[in-house]
Amino acid sequence: MKLPKLFTTFTIACLLGVMSGFSAEFTPIFNGENLDGWEGESSLWRVEDGAIVGETSDEKPIEYNSFLIWQNGEVDDFELKVKYKIESGNSGIQIRSFMRGKPHQLGGYQADIDSSGKFTGICYGEGFRGILSKRGESAAMNEEGKSEKTGDLGNPDELGAKVKADDWNDYHIIAKGHKITIKINGETMTELTDNDTDTRRRVGLLGFQLHKGPAMKVHFKDIMLKRLPIEDVKKIVFVAGKPSHPPRTHEHNAGCKLAAHLLNQHHSDKIVATVYTNGWPADRTAFDNCHAVVMHADGGIRHPAAKYLDVLATLRERKVGVGAIHYAVEMTPGPTNEELTRCIGGAFEINYSVNPHWVAKFETIPDHPVANGVEPFEINDEWYFNMRFAEDMKGVTPILSAVPPAETMSRRDGHHSGNPEVRKMVAAGEPQHLLWLYERPDGGRGFGFTGTHYHDNWANDSFRNAVYNAIAWIAGVEIPEEGIATPTPDEALLEMNLDPKPARKPKAPKPEKKKAA
Do 248 and 184 reside in the same domain of the chain?
Answer: no
How many domains does one find in the chain?
A: 2
C-alpha triplet 136, 138, 140: angle, nearest 5° = 145
pLDDT surpassing 60 at residue 513 = no
What band does 25 get if pLDDT is binned at 50, 70 and 90? confident
pLDDT tens for 110-131 read 999 999 999 999 999 999 999 9
Domain that holds residue 354: 234-495
Q: State mean pLDDT over 334-345.
A: 97
> Is 491 inside a domain boundary?
yes
Let me know if residue 374 belongs to a domain.
yes
Opening angle at CA 411, ends 459 and 248, nearest 5:
25
3-state helix, strand, coil in the chain (%, to 5): 20, 35, 45
Residues 268 and 344 in one domain: yes
CA 63 to CA 52: how far, in whole Å? Answer: 22
Rounded CA separation 6/428 (Å): 63
425 with 278, same domain? yes
CATH number at residue 239: 3.40.50.880
Q: How many residues does the chain have?
A: 517
* Residue-level pLDDT at 447: 98
For residue 501, the model assigns a pLDDT of 82
For 231, residues 6+ apart whose C-beta sits below 8 A from its C-beta are: none
Q: What is the pTM of this model?
A: 0.92
**Does residue 12 sit within a domain?**
no
Same domain, residue pair 413 and 461: yes
Where residue 190 sits, what CATH number does that domain have? 2.60.120.560
Cβ atoms of residues 160 and 135 within 8 Å = yes
Contact 76, 201 (CB under 8 A): no
Quote the pLDDT of residue 502: 72
397 in the same domain as 278: yes
* pLDDT per residue as tens digits for the range 56-89: 999 999 999 999 999 999 999 999 999 999 999 9
H-run or E-run covering 432: strand 432-439
Phi, psi of 370 (to 5 degrees): -70, -15
191 and 306 share one domain: no
Where is average pLDDT lowest: 2-11, 40-49, 472-481? 2-11
Report d(CA 314, CA 196) in Å as an integer: 37
Q: Is residue 391 assigned to a domain?
A: yes
pLDDT-above-90 percentage for the chain: 91
Q: Which amino acid, residue 36?
A: D
Assign 262 to helix, strand or coil. helix
Share of the chain above pLDDT 70, in %: 92
Which of 227, 258, 279 delimits the end of a domain? Answer: 227
Judge whether 7 lies within some domain.
Answer: no
Q: Is residue 314 part of a domain?
A: yes
Decide if 383 contacts 360 (C-beta within 8 A): yes
Q: Are residues 263 and 212 in the same domain?
A: no
The answer to whether residue 489 sits within a structural domain is yes
pLDDT of residue 457: 98
503 in a structural domain: no
